[in-house]
Chain A
């Protein structure tokens, strides 16, 4: 028995050590979310969905803010406003920080929900994802994320080949083909997909309340700015169908919680999108620059 225990324990130890070592190699190319669950707690955050994840570059914003801001945005499936995202934000936030900057991006999808009752938070899908289940968003390696939420074969960690990369500051850079045919095809696909989603999605008062609650909590840690990022006009038209009075709602919210609101859909700059929804990196730079200037004027 001793021999068996010794040999099997040693074998298990070697395997566990190897696995741990591989997890340590995971980086921004391994997974679109993982890196954001491993970086230290932050005092300034960019929040929102994939529009913000790809569209706001901390590197460009930092000189305007005079501090380091971290992009903690995920996707509309993982980080719409709700209990899970709020809890994740609280876990990522430096508890005692007071002078932070928080850019909260909003759009109709992030305050809407599918399901029979869009106000029933028990039905919010993101609660079952890592957003709702992960106990830490600042451990390296994040073993829990790797074991339960990593979406690909682990061999990908070592292959270092990917069509996207999360940078150390949380910004998600994607490398899609940008020839006009590919872009048109992706836009057409998204238009079709978003139109189909319209049937299932409705405005959620509960998510709206969580957005308000999130802003209020963040206000105790610093300054909060509400932002609506630009999208292709055809996508904007679909969003308007989802929530026709979105702007009024956000204006009212901004006023009630006393935070400034910038609607970049009204910008004069012409932006490039990879798929109608997400800004291409050159435009992400322009948007971040415009936002930085606006914040510094506040």
Chain B
């Protein structure tokens, strides 16, 4: 079920009313309702893959129980490995089998021993990369004694499949989300209103910014040779906004929806395009995944301790693995490696933490230096997005070669050029709101805080009508494919 669909608009109020009016007396009933609702939500896409979630949840639930019953290091390690093996096994089979098979075949062919790659006709289960990482974090944290394992199967299964963040995150940590299933949730007007506000903002990002940008991005990346370099540049910039609007919009809707049920999910995006360097960008982009890799891969590898060589190795590992997490394609690996290259000078010069505070804190405008730093970071990020979006490395390089041609000085040649202008105005308006709200959790969290209530509602009404009038064609979220 898509958040931006009529189905969800019907589903959500039904679950909300049942949750607060029918099952509100009993925490277990509430959790059970969430579990059923989450499974219905997932089954709406394809009920057959529910078995994967159930199996993955069951394995980690039993691993948790097993870990609680033994202190023996070897046995605990074996249990942890079982969790990792099952979860990564699912991921490897459904997501990476064909990639590895083809890559091996290509490599052998290159070495003069050609053979046919065996391909499986596999459907990638939606959200598999998200929920497997979430369940693994539970087993790892229990193994590290950071978390007490739970015996409450309903709560645990609900935690794994919690529908607001099931298919595209934020990838929650068991330490944050699981305990919330054990606490009684009380309805709070202000939290619920805040949730609705964040949902509205998320829908704006997804339907107005991302879905409209998608039209031009698809044109530019499908047939780059048909367009002038200026059009291709617009295509890349629009992709930067498409992926941000799409993914952060999803996260906003997820966080807002969870808040309606009394849950707090972690922040996933924090105005990444206002970053002054790539290190800051990565602290603000897909925070739940970056911190997951930091805590479970980077730090165990040694992090930024040790020799320069180790630091370089660790940075490359973390970025390449992160890129590979996004998809079974060399483009994602290249995208990850490119970001590692961007990051390395900052790390080696120990300048990777120079921008911790939000830009232009307590000021209306950034300084000229900050402005140019933001612009430069945005440009290099856009350049990397070309690899992320292209279907293959050769397509990415073709796109780049066409981009750096003299037609960059020609007028863009998209057929619906007036739509490009309208969309640009919408993006500028969007950026202004984001800039104004950059010190809050999401752009309109405190927008018009001091306004009288009717005026606030006029603003929300205008926003809703902009979504209605300018909303692009209903499209699946990009991160569903990861």
Whether B473 is near chain A, meaning CB under 8 Å from some CB there, is yes
Q: List 30 A-B contacts (CB under 8 A).
A: A1-B20, A1-B187, A1-B189, A4-B187, A4-B193, A7-B193, A8-B196, A11-B457, A11-B460, A11-B461, A14-B461, A15-B461, A15-B464, A15-B465, A18-B461, A18-B465, A18-B468, A19-B468, A22-B468, A22-B469, A147-B6, A151-B473, A153-B469, A153-B470, A153-B471, A154-B468, A154-B469, A155-B469, A155-B470, A158-B469
Partner of B472, one of A1, A7, A153: A153
Whether B219 is near chain A, meaning CB under 8 Å from some CB there, is no
The interface residues of chain B lying within 8 Å CB-to-CB of A1 are 20, 187, 189
> By the criterion CB–CB under 8 Å, are B469 and A4 in contact?
no
Whether B431 is near chain A, meaning CB under 8 Å from some CB there, is no
Q: What residues make up the interface of A, taking CB atoms closer than 8 Å to B?
A: 1, 3-4, 7-8, 11, 14-15, 18-19, 22, 147, 151, 153-155, 158
Whether B192 is near chain A, meaning CB under 8 Å from some CB there, is yes
How many Å lie between the Cα of A19 and that of B9 in the bound state?
A: 15
Interface SS of chain B: helix, strand, loop or mixed? Answer: helix
With A14-B461, A147-B6, A151-B473 as given contacts, are A3 and B468 in contact (CB-CB < 8 Å)?
A: no
How many Å lie between the Cα of A151 and that of B472 in the bound state?
A: 9
Partner of B189, one of A3, A19, A22, A147: A3
Closest residue on chain B to residue A1 by CB atoms = B187
How many Å lie between the Cα of A270 and that of B196 in the bound state?
A: 63
The interface residues of chain B lying within 8 Å CB-to-CB of A4 are 187, 189, 192-193
Extra inter-chain contacts (7) besides given A153-B469, A153-B472, CB under 8 Å: A4-B193, A18-B461, A18-B465, A22-B469, A147-B6, A155-B470, A158-B469
The interface residues of chain B lying within 8 Å CB-to-CB of A15 are 461, 464-465, 468
Interface residues of B toward A: which range? 10 to 19
Closest residue on chain B to residue A150 by CB atoms = B473
Chain B: minimal CB distance from A38 (Å): 19
Q: What residues make up the interface of B, taking CB atoms closer than 8 Å to A?
A: 6, 20, 187, 189, 192-193, 196, 212, 457, 460-461, 464-465, 468-473
Chain B: minimal CB distance from A151 (Å): 7
Chain B: minimal CB distance from A156 (Å): 9
List 9 tightest A-B contacts by C-beta distance, closest first. A155-B469, A154-B469, A4-B192, A4-B189, A15-B464, A1-B187, A153-B470, A3-B189, A154-B468
The interface residues of chain B lying within 8 Å CB-to-CB of A11 are 457, 460-461
How many Å lie between the Cα of A8 and that of B457 in the bound state?
A: 10
How many Å lie between the Cα of A18 and that of B472 in the bound state?
A: 18
How many Å lie between the Cα of A19 and that of B457 in the bound state?
A: 17
The interface residues of chain B lying within 8 Å CB-to-CB of A154 are 468-471
Chain B: minimal CB distance from A60 (Å): 33
Closest residue on chain A to residue B9 by CB atoms = A12
The interface residues of chain A lying within 8 Å CB-to-CB of B460 are 11
Closest residue on chain A to residue B196 by CB atoms = A8
For A3, A4, A7, A22, the residue with the greatest tally of chain B CB atoms inside 10 Å of its CB is A4
Closest residue on chain A to residue B20 by CB atoms = A1
For A1, A11, A22, A153, the residue with the greatest tally of chain B CB atoms inside 10 Å of its CB is A153
How many Å lie between the Cα of A7 and that of B189 in the bound state?
A: 11
How many Å lie between the Cα of A18 and that of B468 in the bound state?
A: 10
The interface residues of chain A lying within 8 Å CB-to-CB of B471 are 153-154
How many Å lie between the Cα of A147 and that of B472 in the bound state?
A: 12
How many Å lie between the Cα of A129 and that of B224 in the bound state?
A: 29
Chain A: minimal CB distance from B447 (Å): 16
How many Å lie between the Cα of A7 and that of B6 in the bound state?
A: 21
How many Å lie between the Cα of A14 and that of B468 in the bound state?
A: 13
How many Å lie between the Cα of A151 and that of B193 in the bound state?
A: 33
How many Å lie between the Cα of A146 and that of B469 in the bound state?
A: 12
How many Å lie between the Cα of A8 and that of B193 in the bound state?
A: 8
The interface residues of chain A lying within 8 Å CB-to-CB of B212 are 153
How many Å lie between the Cα of A158 and that of B461 in the bound state?
A: 18
Closest residue on chain A to residue B208 by CB atoms = A153
Chain A: minimal CB distance from B193 (Å): 7
The interface residues of chain A lying within 8 Å CB-to-CB of B469 are 22, 153-155, 158
For A1, A22, A158, the residue with the greatest tally of chain B CB atoms inside 10 Å of its CB is A1
The interface residues of chain A lying within 8 Å CB-to-CB of B20 are 1
The interface residues of chain B lying within 8 Å CB-to-CB of A151 are 473
How many Å lie between the Cα of A19 and that of B469 in the bound state?
A: 9
How many Å lie between the Cα of A3 and that of B472 in the bound state?
A: 33
